[in-house]
Structure 1
């Protein structure tokens, strides 16, 4: 979409936060929203976002299966199948797509920096998985979403998240970070008392580090 002369990709902004939120809240309305998104990805078609949808929901179905996830997963698989059979002829956008490869054409240091940026994207999911065992499904959804975005950027002409010259992925990343769980003050205080100050830090601190 062109918004005031600036091109944005709504799916890359909204899909990550939708999936992370869906991993926390299972309801009929949330399921209908995911199905609507799956239909939209099939109509574009957008293989990267459809693949992200299917991969994340598959991970949730393994970790915390219920009827809402199963219905949404079925819709996402159908959406991804449709995108595979439809032609996607959009060319690569300079400095947005194929950055994982073009960075090495500039200098090996630039390529290594891009790879490092890709790794940093996954830090909130890894830290949350290890420190917040009660909400592992949510952190798994976050990690799967951005892992899928990285794989898509490596395999096709799709935006390279965060390190590419595109603001949609940055906005989408921040929104998905804000959807991650945060410990209450009482819970955090109990954690500090039982596990020590460093291990009991609130996930607010993790969010702040990730945003930086």
Structure 2
């Protein structure tokens, strides 16, 4: 049995992207830097509608294979040339795609539907890749989500998660921030209460699918909604801790694709 998609949810990233353009232009950046965000929105909306039209059995197969492919794509970053010894991106022509932000939600989503051993192995492998890249921001956000997923099923995995996240923070990250990518939220706050409030609202509405999932009759959906909420909140929080990309509002397709991946894993809008 297929599920319906909530059309309004497909447009939720639009205010954050638009606000990012406004703030970036106020600080001298070109609006074309956000073209990948817009393209990712279009692709994400199409994928969400297409997924919602599949049978439940086919949806499960798609999610399973997507999780395996996601791990492989995040691992592929280690084979890239990287930037100053940091390997977080897959290059698609002129676009550098942050693989973890784009694909990690598929692994989180599949974990609850798999056995305890499969879920723990896949999640810890994914987290370990971030220690090699290194990417402490994503590792921390993922760590919070992984704890939510594994705590009740494999409490010992929590210790491994904490160790991997701590190890990632021990790795040097020499990259300097780009204003319209990593500092766009800080700039919005610095531009006064109006833009700061608009940023809070634009990012806040992106939690609606997760909040809706918390009300679902299915326990697994509720736990997944919590995990995705912690993950997305962690991504936002990390931008105030280090030079990490602001999801959706900062220029870049990765986080936009990742948000739609979360929406799809919540069955295109529960």
TM over 0.5: yes
Partner of 2:246: 160
Greater relative contact order (Cα < 8 A, sep 6+): 2
TM-score between the two structures when normalised by the length of structure 1: 0.76
* Structure 1 unaligned spans of 5+: 183-203, 208-212
Alignment deviations for residues 21-41 of structure 1 (CA, whole Å, 9 cap, x no partner): 213333544432222212211
Residues 1-212 of structure 1: matches in 2 within 5 Å?
1=89, 2-62=91-151, 65-67=152-154, 70-71=156-157, 73-132=158-217, 134=219, 135-180=221-266, 182=267, 206=269
Partner of 1:195: none
Once residues 93 and 18 of structure 1 are traced to their aligned partners in structure 2, the CA distance between those partners, rounded to angstroms, is 28
Once residues 52 and 80 of structure 1 are traced to their aligned partners in structure 2, the CA distance between those partners, rounded to angstroms, is 9
Alignment deviations for residues 83-132 of structure 1 (CA, whole Å, 9 cap, x no partner): 22222222112211122211134454332221112211211111211243
1:7 partner SS = strand
Whether the 8 Å contact between 2:116 and 2:153 is mirrored in structure 1 is no
Whether the 8 Å contact between 1:98 and 1:159 is mirrored in structure 2 is yes
Once residues 184 and 125 of structure 2 are traced to their aligned partners in structure 1, the CA distance between those partners, rounded to angstroms, is 30
Once residues 156 and 99 of structure 1 are traced to their aligned partners in structure 2, the CA distance between those partners, rounded to angstroms, is 13
Cα drift, residue 164 of structure 1: 1.4
Higher helix share: 1
Whether the 8 Å contact between 1:38 and 1:75 is mirrored in structure 2 is no
* Structure 2 unaligned spans of 5+: 1-88
Residues matched between the structures, number: 180
Whether the 8 Å contact between 2:148 and 2:226 is mirrored in structure 1 is yes
